[in-house]
Structure 1
Amino acid sequence: MQDIAIFWDWAGFALRWLHVITAMAWIGTSFYFIALDLGLMRPRDMPEGVTGEEWQVHGGGFYHIRKYAVAPERMPEHLTWFKWESYWTWLSGAALLAVLYWAGAELYLIDPAKADLAIWQAIALSAGSIAVGWLVYDALCRSALGRRPTAMMLALFALIVVMSWALNQVFTGRAALLHLGAFTATIMTANVFFVIMPNQRVVVGDLKAGRTPDPEYGRIAKLRSTHNNYLTLPVIFLMLSNHYPLAFGTERAWIIAALVFLMGVTIRHYFNTMHARQGRPNWTWAATAVIFIAIVWLSTAPMRGDLGAEAAGRAPTPGEARFVEAAGFETAENVVLGRCSMCHARDPVWPGVRVPPGGVALETPADIARHARAIYLQAGVSHAMPPGNLTWIEAEERAALVDWYRAATGG
């Protein structure tokens, strides 16, 4: 059983690495094409059908790029499609979500202080919350709002705020922000899979058949691509938010998440305006700073959920009880309380530590049982914790943690 825990941890690492690689490729492609489209020049001697061109230099060579309003007169022999970066980002992210938050639902997903959910109920809510975002967003885009970009963006922001609040009512703080990121990333990939790529295939099909493509397909695809561009930066923040308890561990985490989306808009507006050669709206940086200061202020609100006082007094769940009842728990508990809890406490006493690292509190039997796997991996079989072994944990104590975990899991 202990080998399964180690394998599962490495599986999570592999999926996370794949997710980062594919996300970098997708984000880089998205940013490049938005900047390219906004920066196109329109000289008078352009061929018929060309709406803009751009000269670029990179890697010692020059590139001459032209954009057609709808499509060229005939299909080019070599056509590069950009889609797999998006698909693999979503697939790897979904797999990582399943490995970490579904398989580890009792630890990372369910917060008994918020909602008393069975594991299957939590997983169903997790999957459903991700799917519903696309359905509502797509319906909004296909409505009359689809031709009013500003109103559409406001409606999308309202949807995000509502979803942020709802997720924070049922999941742990870290899971709520992570799921808001997955909710948004699903909208982005679904835009590519269900709208942008099919529309491009229609245009290609018309070209091959000798028909004049309908420009409406291009307009719709560009609208969805623009939405993706503005959603990218908030998604990156939300995917990294589980490393920052001050972002996810407060009463107002859902407001913090909503404000992050506004910061994404102000930052992208600056760069999009600059790439369009319409000046540098430096006011956006001031607006971003004000929003960030508001987030910092909100983060000082009372902690709740997996950092809250109500969690400190709760009894172990049935899934956690096996760790409390296992042979060697008392020894392991003494090791954790003596070597870990000065930082991993709801009110840390270690100098310079204001909140428990990673939002992990290890003060009660329920706390220790809930984080048994992480303790086993980070302080038992490896020396990742304590950092630099600052609390001088002995080899015998690490062995005691390993023995306790294996006794509880049958390893």
Structure 2
Amino acid sequence: MYDFAAMGAWIEFAVRWLHVITGIAWIGSSFYFIALDLGLHRDRNLASGADGEEWQVHGGGFYHIQKYLVAPEHMPDGLIWHKWQSYWTWISGFILLVMVYYLGAEFYLIDPAIADLQVWQAIGISLASLALGWVAYNALCRVFVDANQTTLMVALFGVLVAMSYFYTSVFSGRAAMLHLGAFTATIMSANVFRIIIPNQKIVVADLMAGRKPDAKYGKIAKQRSTHNNYLTLPVIFLMLSNHYPLAFATEFTWLIASLVFLMGVTIRHYFNSLHARTGNPHWTWAVTVLIFILIMWLSTAPMFRVKEPETAQGSALKFAQADGFSDVQDIVLGRCSMCHAAEPVWEGLHWAPKAVRLETEYQIARQAREIYLQAGMSHAMPPANLSYMEEEERALIVAWYRAATAE
């Protein structure tokens, strides 16, 4: 009989792989075209009537690139549309959202300590928030269409901060960070699907009909493309955050998520300024580092207080002999080992998550750091606190780990 659990795991892996591949393609083309647009030489009177040009060398060949501010005089043959990277990144990401967070809602989406939701309620909030995010963003763009674009970006940042707080008020920390990334990515992909590509199609239709296209369509498309450029790096951070409990399962998760968007702005400002030849603002890196240090402080990162053991074997022995280990062992066996076992007894689990087993003294001592980070310093484990780990028990884990790593 075929193992359908294993098949499901491989399907999830395949979708995740597709998501990464298409994401790389989309982000790569987005970064390239923004850099290309900013770096064009626009001080040349080109016979073709183009707005600017640039010469590039890559792969042993030279490329002569020209950009038309509105459109060329005639419709070119073999026009390439950059859209499918965006579409498939969103589609594969949404499939992952369904597979991991909707089908595994009680593990990853719902935390009764935050909001005791039914599965259908949590999924409904998720879907509605993604749709309303695009509506709110698009409305802001229409309101501030003629305003200073910095004003629009500040307004958008306000929406993102509000959504950070909202998501951490209804979902588990892990799901909150992931949803903020999905919220932002939905805006980005909808920009391509609803604004950029339709505007380009209007221009193409005008060219084919012999009409002169209106420059406003290109201007609006460029505005949305620029927004995508500044939102990309935060989305990557938010998608990766589910691997780091200090990012998603602490008291200030919503504030950490908000600060991540500021780091995205400072990093992109540096590269965009460099590509546009308007300066080399090294100060942006200093600001980025300071924001990241602030994020680490907010997450109460233990690296500033705890000395890591030298070797894995020495570590296991050290932790097993440390004061409080017997209490921690009882906590782990009672709260964690029903899943983290050679034969998990939790319904629906066929193997230990991430192959981590916590049944023997050695196994528990060897995973001391992860137990400390995920169940002591943060509330990442147990997922949604399904086994009802008490705050006193988390405190015992923290005390044991710090005692073992003290000077």
What's the TM-score, normalizing by structure 2?
0.78
Kindly indicate whether the alpha-carbon contact (under 8 Å) linking 1:361 and 1:367 is maintained by their aligned counterparts in 2: no
2:387 partner amino acid: D
Map of 2:189 onto structure 1: 189
> Tell me, what secondary structure is at the counterpart of 2:360?
helix
Structure 2 counterpart SS, 1:355: helix
Out of 343, 360, 364, which is 1:338 matched to? 360
**Structure 2: 5+ residue runs without aligned partners?**
303-330, 349-356, 390-407
Cα shift readout 1:313-348 (whole Å, capped 9, x = no counterpart): xx99xxx9x95699xxxxxxxx7443655577xxxx
Counterpart residue type for residue 291 of structure 2 = I
Deviates more, 1:148-157 or 1:360-369: 360-369
C-alpha distance in 2 between matches for 1:366 and 1:103 = 16
Q: Is residue 39–residue 54 contact of structure 2 (8 Å, CA) maintained in 1? A: yes
Structure 1 position 4, deviation (Å) = 2.6
Q: Distance in 1 between the 2:218 and 2:382 partners?
A: 55
Shift of 1:143: 1.2
Secondary structure in structure 1 of the residue aligned to 2:31: helix
CA distance in 2, matches of 1:241, 1:159: 20
Decide whether the 8 Å contact of 2:250 with 2:379 is kept in 1. no
1:38 aligned residue = 38
Tell me, yes or no, if the aligned pair for 1:337 and 1:362 is still in contact at 8 Å.
no
Q: 1:144 to 1:356 in 2, by over 3 A?
A: closer
**Bigger mean CA deviation after superposition, 259-268 or 144-153:** 144-153
2:392 aligns with none
CA contact (8 A) 1:130 1:183 kept: yes
Please state if 1:367 is matched with 2:387: yes
Change (3 A) 1:341 1:133: farther
Q: Which amino acid aligns with 1:159?
A: V
The within-5 A match list for 1:286-325 is: 286-300=286-300
Query: Number of residue pairs matched?
Result: 342
Is the partner of 1:113 in helix, strand or coil? Answer: coil
- 2:35–2:276 contact (8 Å) kept in structure 1: yes
**Alpha-carbon shift at residue 49 of structure 1 (Å):** 3.0
| Aligned-residue offset at 1:50 | 1.1
User: 1:355 is matched by which residue type in structure 2?
Assistant: L
SS of match in other structure, 1:367: coil
What per-residue deviation string (whole Å, max 9, x for no partner) do you get for residues 19-53 of structure 1? Answer: 00000000000000000000001243312531100
Deviation sequence 1:4-23 (CA, Å, 0-9, x none): 32222111111100000000
Q: Which amino acid aligns with 1:356?
A: Q
Question: After alignment, is 192-201 or 5-14 more displaced?
Answer: 5-14
Q: Distance in 1 between matches of 2:372 and 2:118?
A: 33
Task: Answer yes or no: is the 8 Å Cα contact 2:106–2:384 preserved in 1.
Answer: no
**1:129 Cα offset (Å):** 1.4
Are 2:179 and 1:179 equivalent residues in the alignment?
A: yes
Q: Which residue of 2 aligns with 1:234?
A: 234
Q: Are residue 355 (structure 1) and residue 373 (structure 2) matched?
A: yes
Matched residues in 2 for 1:231 and 1:168: separation? 20
Aligned to 2:258: 258
Measured after TM superposition, the shift of residue 147 of structure 1 is 3.5
Separation in 1 of the partners of 2:385 and 2:123?
A: 25
Q: Distance in 2 between matches of 1:142 and 1:79?
A: 29
Q: 1:61 to 1:184 in 2, by over 3 A?
A: same
What is residue 398 of structure 2 aligned with on the other side?
Answer: none
1:168 correspondence with 2:168: yes
1:125 partner letter: I
- C-alpha separation in 1, matches of 2:80 and 2:288: 36
Q: Is the 8 A contact 2:39 2:277 kept in 1?
A: yes
Is the CA contact 1:49–1:70 (under 8 Å) kept in the aligned structure 2? no
Does the CA contact (< 8 Å) of 1:343 and 1:353 recur in 2?
no
What's the TM-score once normalised by structure 1's chain length? 0.77
In 2, are the aligned partners of 1:70 and 1:218 still within 8 Å (CA)? yes
Contact 1:341–1:363, Cα closer than 8 Å, also in 2? no
Q: Secondary structure at the match of 2:3?
A: helix
Unaligned runs of 5+ in 1: 303-311, 327-334, 345-349, 370-411
What letter matches 1:63 in structure 2?
Y
3-state SS of paired residue (2:51): strand
What is the identity percentage for the equivalent residue pairs of Structure 1 and Structure 2?
60
> Which residue does the alignment assign to 2:51?
51
Name the CA distance, whole Å, in 2 between partners of 1:152 and 1:363: 38
* Letter aligned with residue 138 of structure 2: D
